[in-house]
Amino acid sequence: MRKVNPLYVFAVLLALIAAPVTAQSLKDDPGFVDFEPLVAQLDKAPEVSLNFGPALLQVFAATVRESDSGLAELLSGLRGLRVMVFEGVDTTPARSFQVATREQLDRTGWESALSVRDASTHVDMYLKAGAEAIEGLALMVTEDDGTAVFINVVGALNPAALGKLVSGTGFDLGALAELATQLNGGD
Amino acid sequence: MNKLPDHDSPEIRAEDGLKRRTGRPRDAELAADAGLMDELAALSGERLPEPVRKRVLRMVRMRRRAPWMAAAAAVLGVALIVPLALRTPAPPEPSRAETLELKQALEILGRTGRDAARFAGSQLSPHLASPEWGLERVPLKIFPQYPITDRNEDHEKS
Given this model, what pLDDT does residue B146 score? 66
Whether residue A141 contacts residue A102, with contact meaning beta carbons closer than 8 Å, is answered with: no
DSSP summary character for residue A168: T
Give the confidence band of B110 by pLDDT, cuts at 50, 70, 90.
Answer: very high
Residues contacting A133, CB < 8 A, separation 6+:
A77, A155, A156, A157, A158
Backbone angles phi, psi at B150, to 5 degrees: -80, 120
Nearest of A48, A141, A121, A42 to residue A89 by alpha carbon: A42
Whether residue A33 contacts residue A152, with contact meaning beta carbons closer than 8 Å, is answered with: yes
What is the H or E stretch that residue A52 is in? strand A48-52
Q: Per-residue pLDDT averaged across B106-124, rounded? A: 91
For A111-127, the pLDDT digits (tens) are: 999 999 999 999 999 99
Residues from chain A contacting residue B119 (CB–CB below 8 Å): 116, 118, 121, 123
Residues from chain B contacting residue A179 (CB–CB below 8 Å): 94, 99
For A139-162, the pLDDT digits (tens) are: 999 999 999 999 999 999 888 888
Nearest of A38, A180, A171, A51 to residue A99 by alpha carbon: A38
pTM over 0.80: no
User: Strand ranges (DSSP E) for A53-163?
Assistant: 78-86, 111-117, 121-129, 134-143, 148-157
CB-based contact, A149 to chain B, within 8 Å: yes
Cβ neighbours of B116 (radius 10 Å):
23
Mutate to test the interface with A, among B86, B106, B122, B123 (most CBs of A within 10 A): B106
Given this model, what pLDDT does residue A187 score? 43
A74 vs A21, more confident = A74
Given this model, what pLDDT does residue A178 score? 86
Nearest of A123, A78, A125, A128 to residue A108 by alpha carbon: A128
Q: What is the ipTM of this complex?
A: 0.85
